[in-house]
Amino acid sequence: MDQREEGAALQASNDPCVIYWRPFEVRQHSERAFYLECNGLKAYPDPQPAGHPASLAECDRKLRERQAQMGVPVGGMTDEQKATYRATWGELLSAQGQHAHK
């Protein structure tokens, strides 16, 4: 999949019709919002609720913790995962005065 196809897939995954249903799942399993957000998927329709999305630094830290617990090499988020996160959240975080490049 080339970069254009990846961008189209991410955009489709964040389509308002798809996002509309995610809060129902997140209400039942609150930890899923964090994982969705770290993977560049919106857990809630815009505007995002207070405390969302999770910061890139927090996503990377929690992934490192999980990797250490599983006994696999600890590398945190890959550059591709960070790029996907930034593709979704970069503009929002910039507007809020946060930094998407942490």
Residue 69, pLDDT score:
97
Q: What share of the chain is helix, strand, coil (3-state, %, to 5)?
A: 65, 0, 35
Answer whether 0.75 is exceeded by the pTM: yes
Q: For 15-21, which contacts have Cβ atoms below 8 Å and span 24 or more sequence positions?
A: 16/45, 19/43, 19/44, 19/45, 20/45
Tens-of-pLDDT digits for all 102 residues of the chain?
566 666 666 677 888 888 888 888 888 998 999 999 999 999 999 899 999 999 999 999 999 999 999 999 999 999 999 999 999 998 777 666 655 444
Q: Are 90 and 73 in contact (CB under 8 A)?
A: no
Residue 93, pLDDT score:
73
Query: Interhelix angle for 3-13 vs 79-95, to 10°?
Result: 50
